[in-house]
């Protein structure tokens, strides 16, 4: 991302953007500092009403490897991601929401892992950080291989950690389900794990998920109940299994919330890397 325009990117980084102007400088800097050059960054603005699109457009003028698309109406992250995927030219897809970030070696380490293992889908360890970037949680790691059953039980795979080999399945896209269910990532991973085999873990801590207050992913009673609908209706699981998976989901969700919440000072964990990525108070 630091040099001239690339002819054929190895990784296409997909980012949906909606009213994320305060995170965009960190987002762009994060991608710029990936230590693999052959990346393109495709950002889809979902009709933001802040200055997100302006900031992205200005960045694209300075960096030919940044592609900015704006939807004509607000359509949600599934539509935004799938629109970006239509324009992707890399061998691999990786997903980075505007309020999250990667450590500088994320792309190179994960690409090497994908090349070595021949995996269709991989994911890595990550930590949760506070919205102001000052606190960070414990490293969230899990199974080295996630099949459908483990996926249903744990919902462990974080979208910001996923990398997909597009050459192995050119039809990859996010499944379009009712947005109120807030499980499009989960259903998509489920579908393609069934189709292409287990997702493999990259055993490195490479990403940071930002805990944003009142975000779509915040767990509440409504979103929790919608997960049972996913198991029973969308995944067509028999009721006893659906109940079992749902209980496991609730247990792991509560465990992850209590165990991996951001409670440590960032400098204690990431040193200079954390300091570099802190959100400035001036914003």
* pLDDT tens digit sequence for 105-158: 999 999 999 999 999 999 999 999 999 888 999 999 889 999 998 998 888 899
How many alpha carbons fall within 13 Å on the CB side of residue 29?
11
Pick the CATH number of 11-277 from 3.90.550.10, 3.40.718.10, 3.90.380.10, 3.40.50.720: 3.90.550.10
58-91 pLDDT, tens digit per residue, is 999 999 999 999 999 999 999 999 999 999 999 9
- Quick: pLDDT tens for 161-191: 999 999 999 999 999 876 666 778 988 999 9
Alpha-carbon dihedral of residues 210, 234, 77, 47, nearest 10 degrees? -130
Q: What does the radius of gyration of the chain's CA atoms come to, in whole angstroms? A: 18
Token reading at 128: 């949760």
User: Domains of the chain: which residue ranges?
Assistant: 11-277
Cβ-Cβ contacts under 8 Å for 50 (sequence gap 6 or more): 19, 20, 21
Helix orientation angle between 52-62 and 24-32, rounded to the nearest 10 degrees: 30
Query: What does the block give as tokens for 177?
Result: 């389900």
């Amino acid at each position: 991302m630091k040099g001239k325009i690339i002819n054929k990117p190895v990784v296409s980084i997909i980012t949906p953007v909606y009213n994320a102007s305060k995170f965009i400088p960190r987002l762009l800097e994060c991608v710029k500092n990936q230590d693999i050059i052959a990346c393109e960054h495709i950002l889809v603005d979902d009709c933001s009403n802040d200055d997100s699109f302006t900031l992205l457009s200005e960045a694209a003028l300075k960096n030919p490897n940044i592609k900015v698309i704006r939807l004509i109406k607000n359509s949600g992250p599934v539509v935004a991601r799938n629109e970006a995927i239509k324009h992707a030219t890399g061998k691999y897809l990786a997903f980075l929401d505007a309020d999250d970030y990667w450590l500088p070696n994320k792309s190179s380490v994960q690409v090497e892992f994908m090349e070595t293992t021949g995996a269709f889908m991989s994911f890595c360890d990550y930590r949760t950080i506070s919205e102001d970037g000052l606190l960070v949680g414990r490293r969230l790691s899990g199974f080295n291989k996630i099949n459908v059953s483990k996926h249903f039980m744990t919902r462990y795979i974080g979208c910001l950690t996923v990398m997909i080999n597009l050459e192995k399945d050119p039809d990859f896209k996010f499944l379009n389900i009712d947005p109120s269910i807030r499980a499009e990532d989960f259903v998509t991973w489920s579908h393609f794990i069934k189709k292409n085999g287990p997702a493999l873990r990259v055993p490195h801590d490479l990403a940071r998920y930002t805990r944003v207050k009142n975000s779509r992913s915040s767990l509440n009673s409504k979103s929790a109940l919608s997960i049972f609908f996913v198991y029973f209706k969308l995944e067509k699981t028999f009721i006893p299994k659906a109940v079992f998976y749902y209980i496991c989901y609730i247990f792991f969700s509560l465990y992850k919330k209590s165990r991996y919440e951001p409670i440590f000072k960032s400098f204690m964990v990431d040193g200079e890397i954390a300091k570099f990525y802190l959100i400035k108070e001036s914003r």
